[in-house]
Amino acid sequence: MATLARSVISQQAALEVVVLHTKISETLHALKTAAQLAQDLSGRIRLLVLEVVPYPLALDRPAVSLPYTQRRFRTLAENASIETIVDIHLVRDPQKVLDSVLEPHSIVVVGARRSWWRDRTGKRLARKGHQVVYAG
């Protein structure tokens, strides 16, 4: 009975490669890397966008309208060769939200040049048990 339950779960669960949006050009590199990983592993891509809303603005009223942001990232996702889901979160502090939006032991592709932010975020994600891949 346990074997049957495991096989049903494995059929329902699809491997997800998470691309953490940084800058557009870097995210494009990350999407290409993620597409190769997802294709090799028969998975899909989740483009995770943590859109920072500064404190003078209400959290539900970002400086750039949400429909515009959705269209912009949907266009990026449509160019991917693998099934890609766009997941946008309006946040104050992306580091705090990151923990709550990632599944345990996620594969996270970061398309950022070497920087303090990338190094700090990558090390923090690795400490939490995620696999971090750098692209670009």
pLDDT digits (tens, 9 = 90+) for 34-82: 999 998 888 899 999 999 999 989 998 898 889 999 999 998 888 777 8
Contact 80, 35 (CB under 8 A): yes
Residue 103 DSSP symbol: P
- The model's pTM is 0.83
In tens, the pLDDT along 74-117 reads: 988 887 778 899 999 999 999 889 989 999 999 999 987 777 77
In this structure, are residues 95 and 128 in contact, taking their beta carbons and an 8 Å threshold?
no
Ramachandran angles phi, psi of 129, nearest 5°: 100, 10
49: left (phi over 0), alpha (psi -120 to 50) or beta: beta
Phi then psi dihedrals of residue 111, to 5 deg: -100, 70
Q: What is the pLDDT of residue 86?
A: 94
Residue 119 or residue 131, greater confidence: 131
Q: What is the largest CA-CA distance in the chain?
A: 56
pLDDT at residue 13 tops 80 = no
Query: 89 burial class (0-12, 13-18, 19+ CB within 10 angstroms)?
Result: middle
